[in-house]
Structure 1
Amino acid sequence: MLFRFTRPSDGLLRALRTAVAMHRPTDLRTLLACHGEPAFARALAGLSGRVIADALSMLSAADRMAVRRHLSRAALLRLQEIEHRHATDSARTQPTARWASLLLPRP
């Protein structure tokens, strides 16, 4: 009776989390091919923005865009928040043009 109330998508969710945690892009592509973009996106939708970003980063550009089209609005907002935070952090760590001349070696 333990497995009576599990949904078919629970297996996909567990496999998805494991593939992301163990950084296995081949497994993610296989899950996407077997279950399709809508089911893959539904499974991603319940995860954090960081996990969604990690999973999408392991897919090809075409697969990434196809899955993004099926993500829920809430999942897209979590993903955009992570992407914005990443862009802001990387902009802070890059030297500005004013300081770049001091840091770059001269010919």
Structure 2
Amino acid sequence: MMTVLYGIGTVVRFILRVVLLPVQAVLTLVMLAMAFIGSLACTLFEILGTLGVICGLYEFISSTGSATSGWQFLIGGILLVIIPQALIIWGEAGLLNLKDLLARI
């Protein structure tokens, strides 16, 4: 009886691996697309964040600006750089974990 169950389990596992192969391929393509688009987005947001930090420093240096708007520019510029990078890192880690989970089947 155990041999029969083992044989059925082996067949089901093989069928699942064959069925999940296209899913693995699609996840790999999604990861590659996410890395490409993410690098473009990070570059754009790095430029915008740098401009925000420069504007914040200018607000501190200039006598016409207030310190509140200087801090807002600094914090906004830093967040513009950090948030997209964090989303890309967490997204890729999540996809890798999903691929690892599917590979264990």
User: Which is higher, the Rg of structure 1 or of structure 2?
Assistant: 2
Q: Name the structure with the higher helix share.
A: 2
Q: Which has the higher contact order (CA 8 A, sep 6+)?
A: 2
Give the TM-score normalised by the residue count of structure 1.
0.29
Give the TM-score normalised by the residue count of structure 2.
0.29
